[in-house]
Structures are given as C-alpha cells and as structure tokens.
Structure 1
Amino acid sequence: MGTVNRVAVVTGGSRGIGRAVAERLARDGQVVVVVYASNDTEAKATVDAIEAAGGRASAVRADVADEAAIAALFDATEREFGGVDVVVNAAGIMTLTPVAEMDLDALDRMHRTNVRGAFVVAREAARRLRPGGALVNFSTSQTRLLSPTYAAYAASKAAVEALTPVLAKEMRGRDVTVNAVAPGPTATDLFFNGKDEAAIERFAKLNPMERLGTPDDIAEVVSALAGPARWVNGQTVYVNGGVA
C-alpha cells in the first residue's frame, strides 16, 4: 500500500497568506482543500498553481461562520480523501477605524468571520481531526502592538488567542495540537488596503529586519505547526521579524 497523504483544510486559502499556506502544505505533500468566501477565479488559480507544481487540491466555496456549510465541507473532504489531518483557520477580514468612529455593522461583520467563524471551524476540527492532526488558528501581532484604529480587529483576534490554548487542553488524549500564528505587518492586499506609502514604510521599519513579512514567511511557520512541530501546543507564535 502506498503512502497515505495527510489532508489539510485551509480556510481563506484563495489569496494572501492563506494561499501561500495552501501552496506550501501542498509542497509538503499534503492534499489541500482550499476554502474560499466568494472569488471563484482566485480559488481556481490557487488549485491550478498547486496542481501545476505536482500537488493535489480542490476548492470549496463556504462561509466559515455557517455551521451547516462547514459541516458539509468536512463531510465532503472525508468522503473524497478519507479524513482530515490539518485545519488552518486563515479566513479573516479587517476593518480599521478609531473606536469613536466604529460602524457597529462593520464590527458585527468582522466578528462574525473572525470570532464566530474561527469557533465554527475549530469546533468541526475538534470533532474530526485524526490522531497526529493539527489545528492552526490565525491571530495578529496587533494583539501586542495595539496600534490606533486596530481595536476592533485586535479584539476579534484576542478571542482566537484565548480559544487556542483552551481547545489544546480539551483535546487531551487525542494526539492533536492546537496553535495560533500571529503575523506582523505582511505584504498582502489586506495589509496594503487604505495605507499610503509613508504608513507602509513605517510598518516595515517596526521590526529589526526592516522589511514587511511575506506570505511565504508565515506559511513556513504554519508548515512546521501542521507537520513536524508536535511539541508546540496551545501556543500563539508571533511571526513578525522581531516586532516587540
């Protein structure tokens, strides 16, 4: 019998950091299910890139906050590939505004994806991950940097940082790790949106490496947590080039 591939589900996997993670896990030999919110073209491009590099992938459109859709996604993955070994919770949205000017509908939308969505996906992962599995959530270094306008976003990700070690403890006896990665300023469309050149340069200089992170920088750490790094558990790993 041949080698059985590990199977990874990556939410937010069609663009930015999520896409880099999907492509990296595929290079690591994992079968990847790319979960995306709306952009069919970007999802197809991600799957095509993985397959062109010799990997195996499929794409599923689903709202991470919809528990029925996420349960159906896991059902389909188990039917097609035999099970789920890795779940990467990379879907997220970011609205930046001072607290005094915060639009509460925007707050609710962000928390629906970043908090409820993280819980819905984590809940399904907790029920389904096979022994030797890993759940990797996404936080942000803004839970430490605490820059003006980031209150609502950082609050949504602080919830993820609280969820992560609690779930790690709840998985006792299952041989499943639960960790979070917290990127610093990273060169993605999500980061660049609404920032002028001066702001981008300021963020790039925050760390001693004096550059923005790249999606591949983040994917490298996810790759370790999703595979060989079995003794890291219940942690939030700050992947930011040394920002304080």
Structure 2
Amino acid sequence: MICGPALRVAIVDDEAPARARLRDLLGDIAETQPTVVVGVAANGVEALRLLESEPADVVLADIRMPVMDGVELARHLGRLERPPAVIFTTAYDEYAVQAFELAAVDYLLKPVRAQRLADALAKARRHLPPSDAALAGLAPGARQHFSVSERGRVLLVPVAEVLFLRAESKYVTARSVAREYLLDESLVQLEQEFAGRFLRVHRNCLVARAAVVGVERAGEHEGETHWDVLLAGLAERLPISRRQWPTVKQMLGI
C-alpha cells in the first residue's frame, strides 16, 4: 500500500558504499514508500549546497563525517524556510543511539535494513524537523560554522574566521575581516557553546581569543578612561567593561 506522494530524499554519507546501499534500499521499498533521490553528498557542507538547488523533504544523514557532521548539518537545515525532516544513520550500538531519538525523526542503525528505512520514512511524513536545542545537546563539540539566511539560501560562515560576536537588537552580529553577518541566535547561548574560543569583554560582546593582539587605554580626553581590545586584521576597537576587565587582564597575562 502506497503511503503518499513521493518524498524528495537527499543522501549524505562520506562512504560511497553506504550511499549506494541507501539508494538501493529506497528502490526496494518504492512500492510502499515512493521516493525521488534529489542527490547525494559526502558531508554536511556538500549537502547544504545541494539543497540550495534541489530542495528535499527528507535528509538521510550519517552522523560522523569529515568537514561537517550530520548533527551540525541538521542544525543548519533547521534554519531553512522549509526545513527537511532528518533521519540519522549511524554505526552506534542501540544504547548509544537512544539519545538521537530526541533530536531526529528517526535513526537507522548500520547496516540499514529495508523495513527500518520504510518505517523511518513513514515517520518522516508525520513529524517536524529536529529542534536546534535538541541537536545542540547531542553535538560532540561546538559547531565549525555559523549559518546565516541570506536571499533564500543558507550561507555558511566558518567560526574560525569570526573575530567578534556582538548583540544588537534582536540579532547577533558576527564580524570577520571581510564583512558582518547577522545571526538569529542568543549571545548567551553562543558564549556557552564556544566558551573555549570566545571571551566576553562586555555584556554585549564576545571576542575571539586567538584574534586578540593587545589592549589599549582609551577615553582619557572624554574623562571616562577604559580599555579597548585590539583584534588582528580589524581597525575597530572594542571597549572592555570594568566588570570584564579583570578576566580579560588575566587571560592576557597583564
């Protein structure tokens, strides 16, 4: 019995045999779960580029992949205007994968079986995509990219290129040497996720520790002396609040 119209499916796995097996299994269950494979990708970055031109209803995503893993990919997918449902594939044992049930429509334990795939696709027709909060709890570490929605597409911004994050109104500005990006995220959450990379210098600003080249006294002529932090590759100086100065001073070994 056919369960509905054909689902547009993207397959994301860094191993070619695994991608081929999923494609074959989709063909095997086509009578009950019709699908159209819109494309395959070897990592999360390739998948995002694929989905810009070929939207999908469902993404079958391996968890452990180079460049960008399946968990980070799912977090970025959640920011699309019409995010696809995510089904994780994994080689983890059944105890380890229980946590993934909280963040994805379903998971498939490798080697994937046809009936499990059919069940997962049936579930995907009924469920919403995973929440970003749940995915953040599953991620083994901080993301490697920020995602920005611009002109109907998801733009990836490498975290390593961001010099500072500053809260402004309802958004957070991420500044690289080249330009600014608007992130629809909380500065507090970003501080928690990237505690090892960014340092708070003000209640509304985090700076990349690796980008700090020094500090300089400022405001003497205005009668309100304070310290500014200097960042590599950027002319703009960022004020350090009195409250954060002891922490910054300790970090810099001044």
**If the TM-score is normalised by the length of the shorter chain, which range does it land in?**
0.3 to 0.5
Structure with the larger strand share? 2
Q: Which has the larger radius of gyration?
A: 2
Q: Which has the higher helix share?
A: 1
| TM-score, with structure 1 as normaliser | 0.39
Q: TM-score, normalised by structure 2?
A: 0.37
Q: Which has the higher contact order (CA 8 A, sep 6+)?
A: 1
